[in-house]
Structure 1
């Protein structure tokens, strides 16, 4: 297979990208994943309304670093004009790509007409895509799902609409909004979209967690790129493993406990630097729990992770984890 793909004028290695994940794929985690070989990363979704109303919180989510490139920033909303204005504002943060979220299943997003709710209004989705494409001079991509529910599976039609309205690539998550994240992803549906959308790259998303699932997703869908979301949480070396395998068939060993702990500390240290210790440590609780999954005595350590308040607390937890494995 080709070693690279192009989204507009942005060249991306054909390995595995990091999916946008609200509340988890922040700048610190994206930088860690890039270090481990993620070929492309997308930021947390940002409200177009929040951005146009000058919300500081929304603007902070758009801050990107050169270490993350190529990087896309993701916007959500249900009004073409507001989305276009938000995209223009987002350009001051220098993203390589603007991604439009038309797949988020969260009730507070979909319930207000954004995210996956746009799958019920394909015409409006097309208008939003066109408005954003016309507003910026970087490639615009669209991320969506299989459909709203099993009675309205319209990913193929939706993908074609994005293509017709100027999207430079599309990402398909192979579950409906109603399914959220539970049943296995519908790989055949992603393959159907790939066959129907021929002039732009199609990115496959859902259930990729290791080399085997990465290879299967590429082979069965014919996708131009794959994207990993929850499979990377507490597991950024998944990108290194996929990268090495696609390069020359090497199967790297899993990380040692020492490396797991070291990367966890580095990840959270960066988060503290970027968003204050108080904010970062609240979010670190779930990340620490993910990093410690599968470790001997994990249940107790994860409970402890749920009480973290300072970086020193995390250091202490890390020491205890390492000590318990030396005894």
Structure 2
């Protein structure tokens, strides 16, 4: 089932969530290959862009094959957000997303990310500024609320729609929860019933059955998958198949996992060099191998790898199929 966000057509209902330190170019390409309809980049600071920060420039690298792709900005100053949005619009992303869900203290303490949900008036000014600055569709990613005493996802979604936002993604947890406990899918349903723009549900979608359940229970237009995709780009292939057929695909076999790890590592090295690439690959290897026999030992040893040869030797000697 295709969905449309502004003038951008997405071929299916699956969206790779923006995740700092995870959804860089190599990982996005793998998820796209496995069936993600829309991939979202790591969040980038509007302030850092305005200061021409080199690391931020690297975060905004986009490759033609990954479109449609969403670039996510975070910040709390409406004028600056609009100015930066205008400056970067010529880049080859399709959708500009405003981060209003990040729970990390250093972001929240600056009044950014999920802290914006505490200030609906500022939120309205910020979204309006960005929407007026660009022609590309603008979306927002929010949470249920900042805490259980201020559950205002519906209010913020209505504000966003009124400001001209093209879609809203809703994570069914408060900022106070971070990623603990169960996601509240009912708040996603409430948002869907309150607005006419597409609503993307986020939280506790881990496989085909949970994906189908969220769609049915909330009526949302699309699904955003975050932590469940770490070390598991196959999740998009498996969910798409389930939504189309009602049947579950078997997971990848051991050889496919090894091949994916090595492809992922090779692309990371190509993008970031061996020193940085192999160090960033360590966490991905831990995610890819979680749940396999001897994976605890492998995760201990993965922190020693510094070259592609080290990685190949590690996989050959310590990684076996699931029992």
RMSD of Structure 2 on Structure 1 (CA): 1.3
- Identify the residue that residue 4 of structure 1 maps to in structure 2: 2
1:232 aligns with 2:249: no
* Cα deviations by residue, 1:197-235 (Å, 9 ceiling, x for unpaired): 12x100001111111111111111100000100000011
* Cα deviations by residue, 1:40-87 (Å, 9 ceiling, x for unpaired): 000000000000111111121111111111000000000011111221
Q: CA deviation at 1:311?
A: 1.8
1:266 and 1:56 map into 2 onto residues whose CA distance is 26
- Alignment partner of 1:166 out of 158, 164, 167: 164
Preserved contact between residue 141 and residue 170 of structure 2 (Cα < 8 Å):
yes
Q: CA deviation at 1:93?
A: 2.1
Give the alignment of 1:1-327 within 5 angstroms: 3-198=1-196, 200-322=197-319, 324=320
1:321 and 1:239 map into 2 onto residues whose CA distance is 27
Q: How many residue pairs end up in the alignment?
A: 322
Mind listing any 5+ residue stretches in structure 1 that lack a counterpart?
none
2:125 and 2:95 map into 1 onto residues whose CA distance is 19
1:226 and 1:278 map into 2 onto residues whose CA distance is 35
Q: TM-score w.r.t. structure 2 length?
A: 0.97
1:51 and 1:137 map into 2 onto residues whose CA distance is 19
Preserved contact between residue 15 and residue 246 of structure 1 (Cα < 8 Å):
no
Preserved contact between residue 13 and residue 221 of structure 2 (Cα < 8 Å):
no
The more displaced of 19-28 and 313-322 is 313-322
Preserved contact between residue 18 and residue 42 of structure 2 (Cα < 8 Å):
yes
The more displaced of 67-76 and 85-94 is 85-94
Preserved contact between residue 15 and residue 242 of structure 1 (Cα < 8 Å):
no
Preserved contact between residue 257 and residue 288 of structure 2 (Cα < 8 Å):
yes
1:90 and 1:291 map into 2 onto residues whose CA distance is 34
Runs of 4+ in 1 over 6 A off after TM superposition: none
1:113 and 1:90 map into 2 onto residues whose CA distance is 23
Name the SS of the counterpart of 2:41 in structure 1.
Answer: strand
Mind listing any 5+ residue stretches in structure 2 that lack a counterpart?
none
Q: CA deviation at 1:94?
A: 1.4
1:325 and 1:46 map into 2 onto residues whose CA distance is 38
